[in-house]
Amino acid sequence: MVHSASDLLNLSATELDDLFQGGSAGPIPNGEADGKAIIAPGTKFTHEIASIVNIFAWQGKTFDAAHGTLTNRISSLGVNAIVAQVYTGPSLFDGKDCIVLDYSKTSLLAKHVRDEIRAIGSGLYLGLVYWDMKRTIHFSLQFGAV
């Protein structure tokens, strides 16, 4: 059973896909979420990679639901950068509704990136990252205290 973002780091790619498929789009979230990159799921490296990415590259996202946008918190300083448009739409994964994080019109750096998220628990979202329609990695977003 998944209770926190850390629990997701113990799951295989198939288990993560099943969780995403069973999640719901729900309303667009608002506020800060702590993020974890889930790379090489189901391996002994997943936790270490997530820690390194979190320290040096990506720490999470800050949503502004009223304006349908977000910024990513990047670097060890947690700088808000890399803006995305946020809206509900069909998932590239299974065609069901999800929350789309679309960078194509807002970022030169990430214009090929599309993220999709679904709620899988209280304040917990599971995401998929696409690069030009090709699925690459999973990630999690945790809103509020765990």
- Reported as a single tens digit per residue, the pLDDT across 45-71 is 998 989 988 888 899 999 999 999 999
Say what percent of the chain tops pLDDT 90.
77
What tokens does 14 get? 């198939």
Contact call for residues 58 and 78 (beta carbons, < 8 A): no
Provide the whole-model pTM.
0.93
Domain that holds residue 104: 5-143
- Reported as a single tens digit per residue, the pLDDT across 95-133 is 999 999 999 999 988 999 999 999 999 999 999 999 999
Among 72-81, 94-103, 129-138, which is the least confidently predicted range?
72-81
pLDDT at 17 over 80: yes
Distance CA 90, CA 105 (A): 18
The torsion angle over the Cα atoms of residues 59, 92, 31 and 11, rounded to 10 degrees, is -50
pLDDT band, very low/low/confident/very high, at 145 (cuts 50, 70, 90) = low
* CATH, residue 72: 2.40.160
Number of domains in the chain: 1
